[in-house]
Chains A and B, each alone.
Chain A
Amino acid sequence: MIVELAAATLRVATPLLFASMGGVTSERAGVVNLGLEAYLLAGAFGAAAGTLATGSAVVGCVAGVAAASLVALVHGLICTKTRADHVVTGVALNLLADAATIAVLVSAYHKKGATPPFPPSTKEAISGAAVLGSPLTWIALLAVPLVAWFLARTKAGLRLRAVGENPECAESLGVNAARVRLGAVVAAGAITGLGGAFLALEAGSFSKHMAGGRGYLALAAVVIGKWRPGRVAIAAVAFAFLAALSDHLQLQFQMPDQVTQMLPYVVTLVVLSGLVGRARPPAALGRPLN
C-alpha cells in the first residue's frame, strides 16, 4: 500500500513540480504567473498533437514544450510591453487557453471531449517501468535543483532575481529588465509545458479542461514555498501526497470524492493563513516596468 501511495504521489507530483518550478522562474523575475494553467493546457494539447502526428512520445514532449513556450511568449510580451495587470492577464489567458484547446479539438479532430487515444507504444514509453516511474517524473525532480542552481549560480539567475526585486536598479546597471522578464516567462512556459505533456501522455489522450486547476495549485505551492525552489518542491509533493491519499481513502473507505478532493485546497488555505509564517514575495512582483 505504501509503495502504491508513493508511486501515486510521484505521478500526481510530476505536473505540479514542473508547473511550480515554472512559477518560481517567472515570479522571481517579478511576473505574477497565473498563466501556469494555460501553459499546462497548451503543453498537453501540443503533446497530443505531436504524438498523434508522429506516433512518438518524445516528439510529443517537444511539441508540448513548444506550444507552451509559444503561449508563454505571448503572455510575456503582454506583461513586459504593456502595463497590463499580471493577475487579470493570467486569468484571461487561462480562459482563452481552455476555450482555444476545445476549439482546435473540434476543428482538427472533430471530437468534442478528447483527442483520439495515442498508440499504445507511447504510453509504455512515458509511463516507464512501474517501480522507476516515468522518465518525466525524474526530469521533474531534477528540475528542482536545476532551477535553484540557475537562480543562485548563474549570471542570468542573478539578473533575474535582481529584476524581480528592483527592475529600476537593474536597469540602471545596464540590465534589460524587459528582456530578462520575457526570458523568464518563456522559460516558465517551457518547463510547465513538460508538465502538460506528462498529463496528456499519462492519460493517453488530450481531453478538455485537462489542467484541472493544477496550475493554480502549483502557484499555491510557490507561495507556500516562499518562492524558494526546494521548499516549493516540498509543498508541491505534499499536495500530490494529499491528492494521492484522497484517491486512496476514496477507494478504501468509499468516502465521497467531493470531500476527499477538497483536501489539498483546505490545506493550502490553512497553511497560507499563518502556519508557514509571513512569506515575502519578490519586491517587484506584479509591478509593471516603466
Chain B
Amino acid sequence: MTSLAAVAVSKSFGAKRALDDVSFAVEAGEIVALVGENGAGKSTLLKVVSGFLRPDSGEVRIDGKSVQMRGPRDAAARGIGLVHQHFMLIPELTVAENVVLGREPGAGLLLDIAAAEREVQDCAERFGLALDPSARVGDLGVAQQQRVELLKVLVRGARVLLLDEPTGLLPPSGVKDLFALVRRLAAEGCGVVLVTHKLREVTDVCSRAAVLRQGRLAGERRITGDASAVETDLARLMVGDDLDLRRRATAPRGAARGAALVEVESLTVAGPGGRALVDGATFSLRAGEVTGLAGVAGNGQVELLEAIAGVRPCAAAKLMVAGADLRRLGVAARRRAGVGYVPEDRLRDGLAPELSVAENVVLPSTRRWARAMSGWLDRAGIRKAGEEAVAQHDVRPPDPSAAVGGLSGGNQQKVLLARELRARPKLLLAAEPAHGLDFRATEAVHRNLRAAADAGGAVLVASTDLAELLALCDRIVVVCGGRITGEVDPRATSEDELGLLMAGAGRSG
C-alpha cells in the first residue's frame, strides 16, 4: 500500500510560476482526478511527483516519508509510474523491447528476448491487456500503444499510477477498457491520478478531484451526488467565475438548405499495400453549414481532408468548390479557389514555429505583402495584419512579433485560424481543431468555425471527440475504414449512438 503526496510544492520556469505552493495527495486504492485548463500546472505537478522535475521548494512524500528523487528511475523504484500524454515509446522496437528497456532480463551482457517476451506476456495477461510482445510498436494502433505504456509502468511494479490525459486519442471503446483497468488497479490497492480536462471522465471514475488554476490549487471536491452539478462546480473552479458556462458559442442547427457549395464524388486515396485510406467518398456541403466527420482515429477522415486541401494525392470523379474544379490544382491554386485548411498537427503542418505571429498570418499571401515588383516585404503592413489578428482573436500575449512556437497550443490555434479566416474561405477544412485545447480556447475555435460558416462558407470538421462534434456541427457524416457509412442529425443523436455507428463496420485490430 503506497500513498503519494506533494506538500507545498512550487516550481518556476524562468519568470513563469508553473506551480505555486500546491499540495496534493493520493491514497492507496483511490482514483483522484487532477483537472485544470491548459497551463494550469497539471503536467508539471505530475513531473515533480514522478521524479522528472525537482521542485524549487516543498517536498514529495511517499508513505508519509519525504523523498529526494534524482530521476524517473528513483520514482519507478519506489512504485511511482507515469504514463505520458505523448507516448514515450520507440516505434522501431518491439513491445517487449520497449517494456524491458532499462531493466532487461538476461545473464551478464546478454539480452534474453524470450524471457522479456514471457515477462511482458505474463504481465499483459494478468491485467487483461491483449498484446503481442513481439509486435513492432510502430505497427500498433493508438489504444494498443497506450497498453504498452501502461505495461511499462505495471511491469516495474507501480503502486501509484499517474495518467496524463490518457483518453485524448482513444476511441470510445478504448476509453471504456482503460477505465475498467483503472478501476481494477484501484480495487487491487493502487492509487491512480487521472489528469484530464474532460469532466465527464472525472464524475465517471474518480472519487475525488483536485482543481488547479494558474499554478495554484483552486479547490478539492469529493465526487458525490448529481454528476452534472459536480461538473458545473468543477468547471467553475477551473476557469474562475468570469465565464458563463451555460452560454455556448455554438449550437447545431441542422442541415442547411440551398445549392451545394462543395461537391465531392468518389474520392479515393490510395494507401500502402493497395489498401484505400479513403474509399470512394461522395458528399456535398452547403454554404452556412458546419459538417462533422466522425470516426475512430485512423479511419481515413484526416486523409480525406488532406486530399481535399491538396497535400495528399487522390483520385476523384468530382471535386468542386464554389464552381471550381480542384482536381488538377496544386495547394496554392486550391487556396486561391477558396479552400482553407487547419491541419491536425498544427505546429508541424500548420505553422512556422520560429516565425512571428504576424509573419505566420501573412505567410500564404506574401506576394500581396511584397511591395509591387520590388520583392521587399512591407514590414509595416505585415505588422498591422499581425496586430489585427492578435486583437481580433485575442491571442495571448498580444504581441504580433512573438514567435509562434513559444505560444500555448490554444493561442497557436488562434493564430492558425486567424490566417485561414483572413482569406474568407469558401470551404474551411479542420482536423481535430480543438485537440489538446482547454475550455476557453475550444470555445474560441468553435466560434470561429461557426463564423466561417456564417460568412457563407462550408466548414468540414474531422474530430474523434464526439461531444465536440455533437455540440458544434449541423450534420455529422460517419466514416469507417475509409468509407462514409452514415449520416446523422446531431440534434437527435447521442454520443453512444454515434459511437456505435463509428464502430459499425468494425475494423479488425
Chain A 171-183 near chain B by CB (<8 Å), digits 1 or 0: 1111100000000
Q: Is chain A's binding surface mostly helix, strand, loop or mixed?
A: helix
The reply on A245 being an interface residue by CB < 8 A is no
Which of B89, B91, B104 makes the CB contact (< 8 A) with A155? B104
Contact (A173, B102) CB under 8 Å given A154-B110, A156-B109, A168-B88: yes
**Which residue on A lies nearest to B50, using beta carbons?**
A172
Q: Chain A nearest CB: distance from B481 CB in Å? A: 26
Which of B72, B90, B91, B113 makes the CB contact (< 8 A) with A174? B72
The reply on B71 being an interface residue by CB < 8 A is yes
Q: B111 to A169, Cβ gap below 8 A? A: no
Contact residues, A4-56 vs B (CB, 8 A): none
Contact residues, B61-108 vs A (CB, 8 A): 71-73, 76, 84, 88-93, 97, 101-104, 106
Interface residues of A, count at CB 8 A: 21
**Which residue on A lies nearest to B52, using beta carbons?**
A172
Q: Chain B nearest CB: distance from A137 CB in Å? A: 27
Question: Complex formed: what's the CA distance from A157 to B102 in Å?
Answer: 12
Q: B110 to A155, Cβ gap below 8 A? A: yes
Q: Chain B nearest CB: distance from A285 CB in Å? A: 12
Centre residue among A155, A168, A175 by max chain B CB count within 10 A: A155
Q: B88 to A155, Cβ gap below 8 A? A: no
Q: B90 to A166, Cβ gap below 8 A? A: yes
Q: B111 to A153, Cβ gap below 8 A? A: yes
Contact (A173, B72) CB under 8 Å given A155-B104, A155-B106, A156-B109: yes
Centre residue among B88, B92, B102, B152 by max chain A CB count within 10 A: B102
The reply on A214 being an interface residue by CB < 8 A is no
| Chain B residues positioned under 8 Å from A58 (CB to CB) | none
Q: B90 to A169, Cβ gap below 8 A? A: yes
Q: A155 to B111, Cβ gap below 8 A? A: yes
Q: Chain A nearest CB: distance from B488 CB in Å? A: 40
The reply on A162 being an interface residue by CB < 8 A is yes
| Chain B residues positioned under 8 Å from A171 (CB to CB) | 71-72
Q: Chain A nearest CB: distance from B16 CB in Å? A: 19
**Which residue on A lies nearest to B156, using beta carbons?**
A173
Q: A158 to B97, Cβ gap below 8 A? A: yes
Chain B 475-494 near chain A by CB (<8 Å), digits 1 or 0: 00000000000000000000
Q: A154 to B111, Cβ gap below 8 A? A: yes
Contact (A169, B89) CB under 8 Å given A158-B101, A174-B72, A175-B101: yes
Which of A159, A174, A175, A283 makes the CB contact (< 8 A) with B76? A174
Q: Chain B nearest CB: distance from A173 CB in Å? A: 3
Which of B73, B91, B113 makes the CB contact (< 8 A) with A173? B73
Chain A 69-104 near chain B by CB (<8 Å), digits 1 or 0: 000000000000000000000000000000000000
Contact residues, B395-421 vs A (CB, 8 A): none
Q: A166 to B109, Cβ gap below 8 A? A: no
Question: Complex formed: what's the CA distance from A165 to B91 in Å?
Answer: 8
Q: A161 to B92, Cβ gap below 8 A? A: yes
Which of A153, A161, A169 makes the CB contact (< 8 A) with B88? A169
| Chain B residues positioned under 8 Å from A161 (CB to CB) | 90, 92-93
| Chain A residues positioned under 8 Å from B103 (CB to CB) | 173-174
The reply on A170 being an interface residue by CB < 8 A is yes
| Chain B residues positioned under 8 Å from A153 (CB to CB) | 110-111, 113
Question: Complex formed: what's the CA distance from A171 to B103 in Å?
Answer: 12
Question: Complex formed: what's the CA distance from A282 to B93 in Å?
Answer: 11
Contact residues, A122-169 vs B (CB, 8 A): 153-159, 161-162, 165-166, 168-169
Q: A174 to B102, Cβ gap below 8 A? A: yes
| Chain B residues positioned under 8 Å from A283 (CB to CB) | 90-92
| Chain B residues positioned under 8 Å from A154 (CB to CB) | 109-111
**Which residue on B lies nearest to A174, using beta carbons?**
B73
| Chain A residues positioned under 8 Å from B111 (CB to CB) | 153-155, 157-158
| Chain B residues positioned under 8 Å from A282 (CB to CB) | 92
| Chain A residues positioned under 8 Å from B71 (CB to CB) | 171, 174
Q: Chain B nearest CB: distance from A152 CB in Å? A: 8
Chain A 260-286 near chain B by CB (<8 Å), digits 1 or 0: 000000000000000000000011000
Centre residue among A162, A172, A175, A282 by max chain B CB count within 10 A: A172
Subset of 17 A-B contacts with CB under 8 Å: A155-B104, A155-B110, A155-B111, A157-B111, A158-B104, A162-B101, A165-B91, A165-B93, A166-B88, A166-B89, A171-B72, A173-B101, A173-B102, A173-B152, A174-B71, A175-B102, A283-B91
Interface of A toward B, CB cutoff 8 Å? 153-159, 161-162, 165-166, 168-175, 282-283
Known: A161-B92, A174-B102. 9 other contacts (CB 8 A): A155-B110, A158-B93, A158-B97, A161-B90, A165-B93, A168-B88, A169-B101, A173-B73, A174-B71
Question: Which 3 residue pairs are nearest across A and B when measured between Cβ atoms?
Answer: A174-B73, A173-B102, A169-B88
